[in-house]
Amino acid sequence: MSVALPTSVGEVVDLLAHNPEATLLAGGTDLMVEVNLHGRRPGDVVALHRVSELRTWSLDTSRRTVTIGSGVPYAEMETGELARLVPALAEAARTVGSPQIRAAGTLGGNLGTCSPAGDGLPILSALDALIDVVGPNGQRQVRFADFMVGVKKNSLQPSEFVRSVTLPLVEGWQGYAKVGTRNAMVIATASVCLVRSIDHVAVALGAVGPTIIRATEAERWLVANHVMSSPPNVETLSEFGRMVREASRPIDDHRSTAAYRRHAVGVLAQRLLTRSYS
Ligand SMILES: Cc1cc2nc3c(=O)[nH]c(=O)nc-3n(C[C@H](O)[C@H](O)[C@H](O)COP(=O)(O)OP(=O)(O)OC[C@H]3O[C@@H](n4cnc5c(N)ncnc54)[C@H](O)[C@@H]3O)c2cc1C
């Protein structure tokens, strides 16, 4: 196995252009599990940790967006200015693995793996993130909805990689909640990100389908029924939960049953909607 240690995005582009089969290594918290436990044998590895540009984030005050480098670890999203700007991402980051995993793991790796249970992904979905992709043909921005195309499948072309993600700053409330088989160090069996402003709501569901699912009917129903300005009553919450459950497409697997996942995702969405008014 060879390991290349580029220090710039340009070098990464060149390395991947000459060797599209090379495997990217960011924090290694997914990749090394594949290597150590599942027998994956990457031939050539391109390690990203020395590319400082990937490990920074920036705020564009005129466009009101935040751009987060694909190599920024979760630990940097948990607190501080980035957490204030994108609180749902901070909440999600705080639920990832352990402090060691959060010190190493990145959004780029979450997007590279593209598991429906990835904690960063419902946030990117609910906020309609743009994924900044770089490759031999230059740069392009891909809507998150077009980026994640299946279970552990993304729409990156050969030699392309994720440079950063760009998120809008939202005037309003945003939050994230997940359940798993225990209270910490747990992969989600169901998760929800809810974003609410005065005339808009977005509800993204994780671990209950092959991709992150937007509960678009529930979103439209909330807005159309003018329940955005006052806290939801029992009937509204009940109907909202039902519509969210309807939107989910869970399966039975070793972590949970489909029935539990469907129930849980409805409860999580109801709790977030209630919290968004408190
Ligand atoms: C003990 C443990 C607990 C965990 N808990 C959670 C959890 O609670 N929630 C959760 O979501 N995840 C969890 N994970 C999974 C993992 O931490 C996350 O998916 C993390 O975001 C992976 O990031 P990484 O930088 O470590 O990726 P890596 O392992 O370095 O890479 C993962 C994949 O993405 C590719 N890749 C990396 N960077 C890029 C890039 N810039 N562009 C394109 N492809 C790229 C790699 O080639 C590889 O295929 C856990 C893992 C472990 C080992």
User: Which ligand 1 atom is at minimum distance from the Cα of 120?
Assistant: 11
Question: What is the SS3 assignment for 104?
Answer: helix
Q: What is the structure's pLDDT at 183?
A: 87
Q: Say what the pTM is.
A: 0.98
15, 6 Cβ separation under 8 angstroms:
yes
Ligand 1, atom 7, lies closest to the CA of 96
Q: What is the structure's pLDDT at 112?
A: 98
CATH no. of 173-275: 3.30.390.50
Give me the residue label for tokens 């060149």: 14
26 alpha carbon – ligand 1 mean position (Å): 8
Rg value, the chain, Cα: 19
Q: What is the structure's pLDDT at 184?
A: 87
Domain 2-168 has CATH 3.10.300.10: no
173 alpha carbon – ligand 1 mean position (Å): 27
Cα diameter, the chain: 60
Q: What is the DSSP string of 106-143?
A: BHHHHHHH--TT-TTHHHHHHTTPEEEEEETTEEEEEE
Give me the residue label for tokens 């995005």: 9
Q: What is the structure's pLDDT at 229?
A: 77
Ligand 1, pocket residues at CB < 6 Å: 23-31, 33, 48, 70, 95-97, 101, 104-106, 108-110, 112-113, 118-119, 161-162, 187
Q: 158 Cβ partners below 8 Å, 6+ apart?
A: 20
The crossing angle, in degrees rounded to 10, of helices 216-224 and 234-247 is 150
Q: What is the structure's pLDDT at 52?
A: 98
Q: 6 Cβ partners below 8 Å, 6+ apart?
A: 12, 15, 46, 47, 48, 50, 51
23, 45 Cβ separation under 8 angstroms:
yes
pLDDT per residue, tens digit, the chain (278 aa), is 899 999 999 999 999 999 999 999 999 999 999 999 999 999 899 999 999 999 999 999 999 999 999 999 999 999 999 999 999 999 999 999 999 999 999 999 999 999 999 999 999 999 999 999 999 999 999 999 999 999 999 999 999 999 999 999 999 999 999 999 998 889 999 999 999 998 899 999 999 999 999 999 999 999 998 667 789 999 999 999 999 999 999 999 999 999 999 999 999 999 999 999 98
Exposure b/e, 108-135, CB count within 10 A at least 16 = b: bbbbbbbbbbbbbbbbbbbbebbbbbbb
Query: What residue ranges do the domains of the chain occupy?
Result: 2-168, 173-275
118 alpha carbon – ligand 1 mean position (Å): 8
